[in-house]
Chain A
Amino acid sequence: QSALTQPASVSGSPGQSITISCTGTSSDVGGYYYVSWYQQHPGKAPKLMIYEVSNRPSGISNRFSGSRSDNTASLTISGLQAEDEADYYCSSYTSSSTHYVFGSGTKVTVL
């Protein structure tokens, strides 16, 4: 099971919106509502930002939103802030023997 495909980097200016894509197959991203997104700052543990494609956990800013179209999931960060600079990973349940797979990761830079 290969990692889900994410762009290596995305950047934006403060206040702008950016979107990170996560491409898989019908055996993972496109086949189940079990897509989630994590934020990881350097030297820190990952933090759940979105679960079940588009749900935000309690305490997560509504500037973060998730969606999916066919085999591609997306994370949109609106009103970009300096604190949003981090690595972001998507993940999904998969019908393969791995059961779970992460994306390759995207580094978000706030210009």
Chain B
Amino acid sequence: EVQLVQSGAEVKKPGESLRISCKGSGYSFTSQWIGWVRQMPGKGLEWMGRIDPDDSYTNYSPSFQGHVTMSVDKSITTAYLQWSSLKASDTAVYYCARLASSWYGSPWGQGTLVTVSS
């Protein structure tokens, strides 16, 4: 079974750093891109960008460029999303998804809730 399993919920203070993870299994991890999506409380889905697990090439949405960093460790079939300095406005659920070449995501991870509060 193809699966993406994300790390658990996090509670952080403004200014702190954070890395969340997304572990793929059941398929060739380096054969398809991983995309990241933000969903703020009560809001819709927002595209953050994607990473190629084979060579770590990234495309960031302009709205997120410079504020988050995507990375992978293909030896453990895991993708990461990280922040160096969190803001309260980063409070959201973050999803990873396996991205097909024709730009659809399936499957999705279960989501990681990130809460940033002083």
Residues of A within 8 A of B (CB): 3, 32-34, 36, 38, 40, 45-48, 51-52, 57, 89, 91-93, 97-105
Contacts and interface: CB of A to CB of B under 8 A. Distances in A.
Contact of A45 (B49, B95, B104): B95
Interface residues of B, number: 25
Contacts of B63: 98
B47 interface: yes
Contact of A34 (B50, B59, B102, B108): B102
Nearest to B110: A45
B11 interface: no
Contacts of A48: 104-108
The main secondary structure of chain B at its interface with chain A is strand
B61 interface: yes
Interface of B: 35, 37, 44-47, 49-50, 59, 61-63, 95, 97, 100, 102-111
A46 B62 contact: no
Nearest to A103: B44
A48 B106 CA distance: 6
Nearest to A6: B44
A102 B39 CA distance: 11
A29 B110 CA distance: 27
Given A45-B109, A45-B110, A34 B47 contact: no
Nearest to A102: B45
A99 B102 contact: no
A102 B44 contact: yes
Contacts of A97: 61-62
Contacts of A99: 47, 49-50, 59, 61
A93 B103 contact: yes
Nearest to B108: A45
Contacts of A93: 103
A104 B105 CA distance: 17
8 contacts: A36-B103, A40-B45, A45-B108, A51-B100, A98-B63, A100-B35, A100-B61, A102-B45
A93 B49 CA distance: 12
A103 B95 CA distance: 16
A51 B104 contact: yes
